[in-house]
Structure 1
Amino acid sequence: MEELRGGYRVLFWLVAGLCGVDLLCMASTWLPGEYTAPQWLVRGLFLSAFPALSVALVCGFISGAAAQLTGSRNAGRLGRYVRLLPRALKVAYAAVICLAALGFATGAGTAEDAKADASGYYYTYWDKTADPQHSVRVELTEPAYYEALKADLRISGATSAVFLAFSSFLVLASASASAGRTGTAPEFP
């Protein structure tokens, strides 16, 4: 990772740090009781994943990493590049993938757009089997409301963690491609 210099280093650690905070927020949804991470933080991390991914994609295209790692003529290069990563980074990326998969799996069954107002806790859905079609309100208990809310936050966290992890990988690949072009590090194998 000695090719990670300047702006690439800053961007890599920024995105990796956001991914770590995102995973901690997602893991907090597995704790019993109400959610502990503030909703605004989870939503903000979700929204921050898109500019980070955009910047990483631009870096990938400018540096040539996207062309070096994809395409039919470069089959196997991506796998060889992943094998060259330091062990700690491989473990970190594997942990992100596993935690995100667990987040999707545990959040998918109970995630509703739960709401609360003065009349209680509920979620609504569009009943397409009725004639005419209409919106149906389903009442929730307080524990069910918090479980639905935590499942929704868990899915948001898992999605942004995957985007942020991919962004950090792309930044690292872009730094390697840029270093290979300037002659300070070898090109991808």
Structure 2
Amino acid sequence: MHFVLALSLCGIALLAMASNWLPGESIVPTSVVIGLFVLVFPVFGAAFVRSLASGAAGTLLGPANAGRLARYVWLLPLSLKLAYGIVICLAVAGVATGGGRDAKEDASGYYYTYWNNTTLQSERVSLTEPEYHEALKAHLRFSSAGPALFYAASSFLVLASASASSPRTPVKPG
């Protein structure tokens, strides 16, 4: 159940990020992106605690176990390897095309502020409405990419925990 939840939230975060590549205004409300960000903490935290409790963290993570982690990833079904690869590529694209200015809107119009090191004060730069919407969409892309990566990592940790805690049957020779 935890795996399905984490992977579903990852998909929702990727859809929110991808919708901000479309032309025009953002169709995803900022509250959805904030909600996805907040939900990362309990989902990833529970997956991390689960991996510690099952022994998966000690078995797969750490610099001494890099080969073991690579072998575990190699044993994943092809569909999961592709899904994780797509998530990583999309999140990197979201981070690369996102970020930028934190555009704001008030009664006087659209703007962003930055710190001027020469005058040692914050300065306001006016934006046109299209510039504002593009800056807002870039910010939302960046803010959706991080949760998508953490949800994908959560689902991976849940899989690793299930593998580490599954009963082993000894192989009898002969």
TM-score band w.r.t. shorter chain: over 0.9
Q: Closer, same or farther in 2 for the Cα pair 1:128/1:116, shift >3 Å?
A: same
> What letter corresponds to residue 163 of structure 1 in structure 2?
F
Q: Closer, same or farther in 2 for the Cα pair 1:138/1:86, shift >3 Å?
A: same
Asked if 2 retains the 8 angstrom alpha-carbon contact of 1:65 and 1:173, the reply is yes
Q: Closer, same or farther in 2 for the Cα pair 1:125/1:85, shift >3 Å?
A: same
Residue 135 of structure 1 pairs with residue 122 of structure 2: yes
- Alpha-carbon distance in 1 for matches of 2:104, 2:59: 47
Asked if 2 retains the 8 angstrom alpha-carbon contact of 1:100 and 1:161, the reply is yes
Q: Closer, same or farther in 2 for the Cα pair 1:75/1:33, shift >3 Å?
A: closer
Match of 2:86 among 90, 95, 111: 95
Match of 1:55 among 37, 46, 52: 46
TM-align CA RMSD: 1.6
Residue 183 of structure 1 pairs with residue 168 of structure 2: yes
Residue 160 of structure 1 corresponds to 147
Report the 3-state secondary structure (helix = DSSP H, G, I; strand = E; otherwise coil) of the residue aligned with 1:98: helix
Residue 70 of structure 1 pairs with residue 61 of structure 2: yes
Residue 12 of structure 2 corresponds to 21
Report the 3-state secondary structure (helix = DSSP H, G, I; strand = E; otherwise coil) of the residue aligned with 1:35: coil
Report the 3-state secondary structure (helix = DSSP H, G, I; strand = E; otherwise coil) of the residue aligned with 1:76: helix
- Structure 1 spans left out of the alignment, 5+ residues: 1-9
Report the 3-state secondary structure (helix = DSSP H, G, I; strand = E; otherwise coil) of the residue aligned with 1:36: coil
- Alpha-carbon distance in 1 for matches of 2:69, 2:138: 33
Residue 114 of structure 1 pairs with residue 103 of structure 2: yes
- Alpha-carbon distance in 1 for matches of 2:155, 2:165: 15
- Structure 2 spans left out of the alignment, 5+ residues: none
Match of 1:174 among 142, 148, 161: 161
1:75 positional shift:
3.7
1:73 positional shift:
4.3
- Alpha-carbon distance in 2 for matches of 1:172, 1:185: 22
Give structure 1 regions of 4+ aligned residues with deviation exceeding 3 angstroms: none
- Alpha-carbon distance in 2 for matches of 1:72, 1:123: 42
Residue 86 of structure 1 corresponds to 77
Structure 1, residues 7-61: CA drift from partner, whole Å, max 9, x if none? xxx1000010000011001000000000011111111101111221111110010
TM-score scaled to structure 1, two decimals? 0.86
Report the 3-state secondary structure (helix = DSSP H, G, I; strand = E; otherwise coil) of the residue aligned with 2:112: strand
TM-score scaled to structure 2, two decimals? 0.94
How many residues are aligned here? 171
Identity %: 59
